[in-house]
Amino acid sequence: MGSIVDPLYLGLDLSTQQLKAVVVDEKLKILHQASVHFDSDLPEFRTHGGVVLNKMNPQVVTTPTLLWVKALDMLMDRLTVSGVDFSQIAAISGTAQQHGSVYWLRGADDRLKDLDPNQFLHQQLGSCFATSNSPVWMDSSTSQQCKKLEEAVGGPEELCHITGSKAYERFTGAQIAKIAEIRKETYNNTDRISLVSSFLCSLFLGRIAPIDYSDGSGMNLMDIRTKQWDQSLLEACATNLELKLDGPVESSSVLGTISPYYVERWEFSKDCKVVAFTGDNPASLIGMRLDQGWLAVSLGTSDTMFLWLDQPKLVPEGHIFCNPIDSEAYMALLCFKNGSLTREKIRDDCTEGSWDIFNQLLDSTPRGNFGNLGFYFHTHEIIPFTCGEYRFNKANEKIVKFTSLEVEVRALIEGQFIGRRAHIEDIGFKFDENTRILATGGASKNKSILQVISDVFNAPVYVQETADSAMLGAAYQAKYALHKSESTYKEITSCLPEPQLICEPFTDAEDIYGPMVIRYRKLIADIMK
């Protein structure tokens, strides 16, 4: 095998609905991209939006673990077809949906070390998992376990102080506690537990990879200041948990060289390094090169908002994660479950599936929507913790239907972002004349939606060249991890173009939306009663 003369970097993103990959060169220019869409490319797993809802209890949401493995087999084939020269890949990093967990059986680590290059991964890893389905971030079935975790440290505020978040149903600690409690044998048969990110990393590393600080902050188990597991939380969660987790590592750690499986099967260089994988929101922060003063709005399956913080702060209705680039710094995050899939549902109801018609309807209605306002929580929302559809007319009377499709479409988009603004203000974010919004994720291609965001937040909205900031963040992290002793992250990414301005708010925006944020708070408080 020749040596690496023209270094390339591979970034992967295992998101809710798909597995994507990008290859960039030394200047971070995109050379190749490939993706595998779970519902359409792997129909045998019968997922919808990448997940399986439990028929008896729709709060239980999982994805078959082997689907992710098979998706990687397909992705490698697609990258080969697109002409990637794997022998020149100097480093790999990756990212994945946060909070989900994978349960490895005893012996799985040995299997990973000894993979047969003549076979697909899914043919060899089928018997490695203690649960065939992995709980994912959309699961909200663990309220009981959440209570226990909070009680173990003296209440929600204390848990929030230690781990950066009060207990959340989707966070991995409560998910593990539920399995340990109701499926004791499964838990006892589990040798190691990975997050989705460290699971994907393990497939490249050829052994079970450690969890990184940033994604580890989404478990309600790690002390975000010391970056160690909190012993009382581990104990409250399940017995012998520390042995199953291994210690967390810095997000930009080089973990080792690539597994011989890839050297023999795909002709990777044996010198190719594997860098820790992290969560999709932290990776987006890397890919967006988010600086102070920017607010990131990610419009993927979930909608998230996040920002860089130098110091952790107490945000009871949000999350503080360790920063994936600077291990002294932090990031604040809010997550809304009813993002793109909710927009897709209303698009399908109102337009038979066309974003163009959806946008025409949205653009044909005035800012403020004649006083109509709607909230659509088709799956159980995280903030506010509720579900259902709510439509109000300008007299704040609850109504069943709006008078037209265009009012419905605007009610959805305005309602979503008025809520996002109220909740980010609640965690102390102040919008002022310096605020700039950087949008990313699948729906950030939609200028009509971005215009509503710009008006509701009364701030300009920018985008970057490509909307896949998490996947790109992983590729940039791969390069940064190799060079961090001689260059800063800013220096490494200085060759990238600046974000582009897409929309600015109309002058009447604040007069319209300021009062609507107040109205939102009142209506939601009534709904929550």
Q: Which positions touch ligand ADP (CB under 6 A)?
A: 15-18, 300-301, 340-341, 343-344, 355, 441-443, 445-446
Give the CA distances from residue 51 to residues 17, 46, 58, 67, in Å, rounded to whole numbers and listed in that order.
8, 8, 11, 10
302 binds ligand XUL (CB under 6 A): yes
420 binds ligand XUL (CB under 6 A): no
Q: Which does 335 bind (CB under 5 to 8 A by kind): ligand XUL, ligand ADP, none?
A: ligand XUL
Q: Name the residue nearer to ligand XUL (CB basis): 140 or 257.
A: 140
Closest residue to ligand ADP using C-beta atoms: 442
Q: Which does 47 bind (CB under 5 to 8 A by kind): ligand ADP, ligand XUL, none?
A: none
Q: Which does 170 bind (CB under 5 to 8 A by kind): ligand ADP, ligand XUL, none?
A: ligand XUL
Residues whose CB falls within 8 Å of the CB of residue 145, separated by 6 or more in sequence, listed in order: 167, 173, 174, 175, 177, 178, 181, 237
Residue numbers 201-230 binding ligand XUL by CB under 6 A: 218
Selected binder of ligand XUL within 86, 137, 377, 520 (CB under 6 A): 137
Number of residues engaging ligand XUL in binding (CB under 6 A): 15
Compute the least distance from the CB of residue 64 to ligand ADP, in Å: 17
Q: Give the tokens for residue 148.
A: 């226990």
The H-or-E segment that residue 374 falls in is: strand 373-377
Q: Which does 18 bind (CB under 5 to 8 A by kind): ligand ADP, ligand XUL, none?
A: ligand ADP
The bridge status of strand 273-275 relative to strand 254-257 is: antiparallel
Q: Closest Cα partner for 411 from 457, 371, 465? A: 371
CB 276 within 8 A of CB 210: yes
What's the CA dihedral at 38, 40, 42, 44 to 10 degrees?
120
Q: Which does 98 bind (CB under 5 to 8 A by kind): ligand ADP, ligand XUL, none?
A: ligand XUL
Compute the least distance from the CB of residue 441 to ligand ADP, in Å: 4
| Partners of 30 in the β-ladder | 24
| Partners of 94 in the β-ladder | 12
d(CA 231, CA 221) in angstroms, rounded, equals 8
280 binds ligand XUL (CB under 6 A): yes
- Is residue 123 classed as helix, strand or coil in its secondary structure? helix
251 binds ligand XUL (CB under 6 A): no
d(CA 131, CA 48) in angstroms, rounded, equals 20
CB count in 10 Å sphere of residue 400:
6
Q: Name the residue nearer to ligand ADP (CB basis): 356 or 397.
A: 356
What residue type is assigned to position 486 of the chain?
E
Q: Give the tokens for residue 38.
A: 């779970």
Selected binder of ligand XUL within 33, 42, 76, 99 (CB under 6 A): 99
Residues found in the chain:
529
Cis-peptide into 384, omega within 30 deg:
yes
Strand ranges inside 127-216, DSSP E: 133-135, 190-195
172 binds ligand XUL (CB under 6 A): no
Q: Closest Cα partner for 100 from 185, 171, 182, 186? A: 171
Q: Name the residue nearer to ligand ADP (CB basis): 338 or 493.
A: 338
Compute the least distance from the CB of residue 227 to ligand ADP, in Å: 27
Compute the least distance from the CB of residue 492 to ligand ADP, in Å: 24
442 binds ligand XUL (CB under 6 A): no
Selected binder of ligand XUL within 14, 335, 350, 461 (CB under 6 A): 335
First to last CA, the chain: 66
Q: Name the residue nearer to ligand XUL (CB basis): 99 or 273.
A: 99
Q: Name the residue nearer to ligand ADP (CB basis): 15 or 323.
A: 15
Give the CA distances from residue 350 to residues 366, 404, 414, 439, in Å, rounded to whole numbers and listed in that order.
18, 9, 16, 25
d(CA 321, CA 269) in angstroms, rounded, equals 34
467 binds ligand XUL (CB under 6 A): no
d(CA 88, CA 227) in angstroms, rounded, equals 34
Q: Name the residue nearer to ligand ADP (CB basis): 334 or 492.
A: 334
* Binding window for ligand XUL (CB under 6 A); candidates: 96-104, 425-433, 498-506, 510-518: 96-104
The bridge status of strand 52-53 relative to strand 61-64 is: antiparallel
d(CA 196, CA 15) in angstroms, rounded, equals 9
Compute the least distance from the CB of residue 174 to ligand ADP, in Å: 22
Q: Give the tokens for residue 191.
A: 């040798």
Q: Which does 506 bind (CB under 5 to 8 A by kind): ligand ADP, ligand XUL, none?
A: none
Q: Name the residue nearer to ligand ADP (CB basis): 87 or 93.
A: 93
Closest residue to ligand XUL using C-beta atoms: 98
Q: Which does 372 bind (CB under 5 to 8 A by kind): ligand ADP, ligand XUL, none?
A: none
Compute the least distance from the CB of residue 157 to ligand ADP, in Å: 31
Q: Which does 265 bind (CB under 5 to 8 A by kind): ligand XUL, ligand ADP, none?
A: none
d(CA 484, CA 330) in angstroms, rounded, equals 19
362 binds ligand XUL (CB under 6 A): no
Residues whose CB falls within 8 Å of the CB of residue 328, separated by 6 or more in sequence, listed in order: none
| Partners of 365 in the β-ladder | none
Compute the least distance from the CB of residue 428 to ligand XUL, in Å: 18
Q: Name the residue nearer to ligand XUL (CB basis): 374 or 441.
A: 441
Compute the least distance from the CB of residue 267 to ligand XUL, in Å: 32
CB count in 10 Å sphere of residue 309:
16
Which spans of this chain sit near ligand XUL (rule: CB under 6 A)? 16, 97-99, 137, 170, 218, 279-281, 300-302, 304, 335
